[in-house]
Chains A and B, each alone.
Chain A
Amino acid sequence: MAFSDSFFASKFGLRTKDLESYLSDALSQGGDYADIYFEYLATSMIAMDESIVKSATQGVSLGVGVRVISGERTGYAYSDDLSPEKIRKAAKVAACIAAGPAKVEKAPLSEGQKRNLYPVLTAPNETGFMERVDLVKRAEKAARDYDPRIFQVQSTYADSLRHVLVANSDGVLNYDRQPMARLSVSALARQNGGAPQHGHAGGGGRVELEFFLNEKTPEHFAREAARQAVVQLDAVEAPAGESVVVLGPGWPGVLLHEAVGHGLEADFNRKGTSAFTGRIGQQVASPLCTVIDDGTIASRRGSLNVDDEGNPTQRNVLIEKGILRGYLQDQLSSRITRATATGNGRRESYEHIPMPRMTNTFMLAGESDPEEIIRSVPKGLYCANFGGGQVDITSGNFVFSASESYLIENGKLTRPVRNATLIGNGPEAMKYVSMVGNDLKLDEGIGVCGKEGQSVPVGVGIPTVKIDRMTVGGTA
């Protein structure tokens, strides 16, 4: 696709010479670098609750953000009006960060290499509404049909289609069309007037609507949510204190996201505030652990053709056989530390300044049979599903909450246990990984990562993993 056929050129008449002129305005007070980011976002959401399609919302937002970098300083301004006067005004406000003569040397804009990791012909929000409503109805029915003890079901379908265009003073010009869809189901189960128990499942990605008809159906997610809720009905109190913990494959990869991922973002490391600062080349995990962040996996929720600074995403090795190999970079940190861009500069919207962020973060499969891993544990906890997690990157302490877990007694999964938070320390916890399964699984496409008030979609994945020591926050 030529630039003239791209979304912003065809819909708003944007020309490359306009972009070059805005970038000149941005650098009119000096500065080392400027970029401009256009975003058009159309979203829709349909929610069914109590067997009624209770809400449906759709809308559009549009805007442009201009950034100027001068040394370690950043100026940023944005506008929700794409008129040239408003864009120039934003460029001039952002330019105030720099003080000096205009920077005149600017590379001429040239388009980056094109690829398409998500060749979605018809984005989900370009399909009929009734087809999308049908997904939430099917999910609701399947969850209720799963077990008579299910008494509340909420199913939500949400999609978006984002068009972005980034141009910068290094000459990068890139644009992308980014579809996304997600179906999620939450179910509540109750027996004999006892406490309601919650189950949740969902997934999607940068896919067409057919994904939910052929690959991961509403029934798939609904049964999973209902199953989790029903399992919890018999849950006993979780143990308190240190324990052997086995993580099941897939979504428990949240562990990597919290324990190591955030701590390897280049902004914290450039500033020396991460528990991983200065540890490149050191052993930070057991030799069984190789951790990757890969923004190039086709159709995945965390994948991008180009990051929000116009750099192509790539596959980055973070930890190789336990040795820390690299950080996740954005434009600012890679400029300051003279590191190579890794394609991890992301932002929530045109109103936000890019930061180094994860894409899809996972651990490579090992050699152990998952059954054998469980058999090796005389007493411990098996975590099949997680809720969210959080990390304090400076101390390295992180938590995640286990939403479906089981006691391991004499090498067998016995009773389900109630929700509990697990806590560990990033550079330490991974040293206790003693077995890694051969069953790497990526999550189903539901992750949202929050950092400094900005949310972006991400993916995680992990094989079955045994950790010899973690603290479990139960009451028993």
Chain B
Amino acid sequence: MIDLARDVVRQALAAGATDAECTISEGNEFSAQVRLGEVETLKEAGSRGAGLRILLGQHTGSSYTSDLTPEGISQMVAGAMQLAAVTTEDPFAGLADESEYGSIPGDLRLYNADVERLETGVKIEMAKRAENAALTFDPRITNSEGASFDSHLGRRVFANSRGFAGEYRSSHCSISAVPVAKQGEAMERDYWFHSARGFADLEKPEDVGRIAAERTLRRLGAVKVATQRVPVIFEPRTARSILSNIFDAVEGRSIYRQSSFLAGKLGEQVAAANVTIVDDGTIPGLFGTSPFDDEGIPTRRTTVIEKGLLRNYLLNIYSARKLGMKTTGNASRGITGNAGVGPGNFYLEAGSRSARELIQSVANGFYVTELIGSGVNIATGDYSQGAAGLWIENGELAFAVSEVTIASTLQQMLMGMEAASDLEFRGSTASPTVLIQEMTVGGR
């Protein structure tokens, strides 16, 4: 496939392009879903696609196809050329210097052959064991939305007209369970999952099922609390979503468009003095790791917030040029189009107190286990989300709460933030438990 990508680039140059970039992606997916002990769905298939972005001087044009025959490829090349004629000249468009391209060396452990060798029966069994562990955990677990085992094998190829050509394979498998609990008329569901690059690294399905059941059970009997301002603790799963919001506020496009509350704040204190946030696309085996980004730039480690000070934005080639900076190797795209900016492994560094100690430090507050909605405004920093979780009374998790909102601004949340010690990478964005000094809980 790497030869095909190089060939696409050659064809684009032959058609008159000044520069060209080609991405080819191939994936195979498998999914087994069981429900109440029976197989519900089996899905297995693969597909491929190619994308091309060309420059005609400072004009760009992009195209893609799922048809990798010579005819499909030549149509793709013609399509990109056609569109370069309708875009405007953009003084900031263009590829990077040749010296900037490359791959980081070494085995990044992105691909594990044990995922490919798994037999269907084994995968079904994993899902059944997870669901069974959830269903038998407690009599109040009365139903299930099922449990599943999913795996994915991928290959990504990138080549450009500045001499870069690279490829990497990746593997991924995961187990998840979604039990349903009932108490009186009220029903609750929750989920738990675990993902890994290799099958051998996957947590035991019994553990996934048990945690899913525990999480579901503790939501039963939830009440709505009175509206008040209190300290709020986000468990790692919900804290991760705050990290995603912060990522959106430091990625290059929102900075050069001045549509982020962190635009123009480099060097300033934007968070509490113990807050350090890092992006690192080089950590072997993690989900945000790759040898090069989606523009062929080697990935790296970038400190975004260091002890409360905003140090760096995360950039691709275009946003770096707009800001007069260097790319941080964070280009991200599907298979075509101008690249956007995406995270490597974007995480909040662990603090010194344990999650338990953070909870014990709160006399009256809210422990958030679920967030719902999209009420975060990156331009203003306004934060308003639906939430469910547990109320903290005198340092203990006391009772379940649901159908409430939590609100503040990301600015105030960052300034009042403390990280616990329990950092764990379960996805490309990661966070330990987080305490926010004060937020408004909206309820009765």
Chain A residues packing against B (C-beta within 8 Å): 45-46, 48-50, 52-63, 72-80, 90, 93, 96-97, 129-130, 133, 151-152, 188, 190, 195-198, 238, 240-242, 271-273, 275, 351, 353, 387-392, 394-395, 397-401, 418-425, 471-475
Contacts and interface: CB of A to CB of B under 8 A. Distances in A.
Interface residues of B, number: 81
A57 B64 contact: yes
B123 to A, nearest CB: 13
Contact of A52 (B49, B88, B374, B381): B88
Which label, helix, strand, loop or mixed, suits the secondary structure of the A interface? strand
Interface in B52-101: 60-67, 72, 75-76, 79, 82-90, 93
Contacts of A62: 66-67
Interface stretch (B201-209, B254-262, B280-288): B254-262
A59 B440 contact: no
A240 B225 CA distance: 12
B332 to A, nearest CB: 15
B258 A196 contact: yes
Contact of B440 (A130, A240, A400, A423): A240
Interface of B: 35, 38-45, 47-49, 51, 60-67, 72, 75-76, 79, 82-90, 93, 120, 143, 145, 180, 186-189, 219, 222, 224, 226-227, 257-259, 261, 336-338, 370, 372-375, 377, 379-382, 384-386, 388, 402-408, 440-444
A78 B65 CA distance: 17
Contacts of B377: 198, 419
Contacts of B87: 52-56
B40 A73 contact: yes
Contacts of A475: 384, 407-408, 440
A57 B84 CA distance: 9
Nearest to A151: B258
A390 B374 contact: yes
Contacts, number: 260
Given A55-B337, A62-B66, A73-B40, A425 B375 contact: no
A130 B85 CA distance: 9
Given A58-B82, A80-B47, A129-B86, 14 more contacts: A52-B90, A54-B90, A55-B60, A60-B64, A61-B66, A72-B38, A72-B40, A273-B143, A397-B386, A423-B372, A423-B386, A471-B403, A473-B385, A475-B440
Contact of A242 (B51, B84, B444): B444
Given A188-B379, A392-B189, A418-B380, A130 B86 contact: yes
Contacts of B93: 54
A358 B404 CA distance: 27
Contacts of A197: 379-380
Nearest to B64: A59
Contacts of B388: 392, 395, 397
B403 A59 contact: no
Contacts of B261: 195
B440 A474 contact: yes
B79 A351 contact: no
Given A129-B83, A394-B188, A395-B189, A55 B338 contact: yes
B61 A56 contact: yes
B291 to A, nearest CB: 26
B379 A63 contact: no
A63 B48 CA distance: 11
A195 B372 contact: no
6 contacts: A48-B88, A49-B257, A238-B384, A394-B180, A420-B384, A420-B405
A472 B442 contact: yes
A237 to B, nearest CB: 9
Contacts of A74: 40-42
A473 B88 contact: no
A399 B386 contact: yes
A52 B92 CA distance: 11
A46 B180 contact: no
Given A73-B41, A471-B404, A152 B386 contact: no
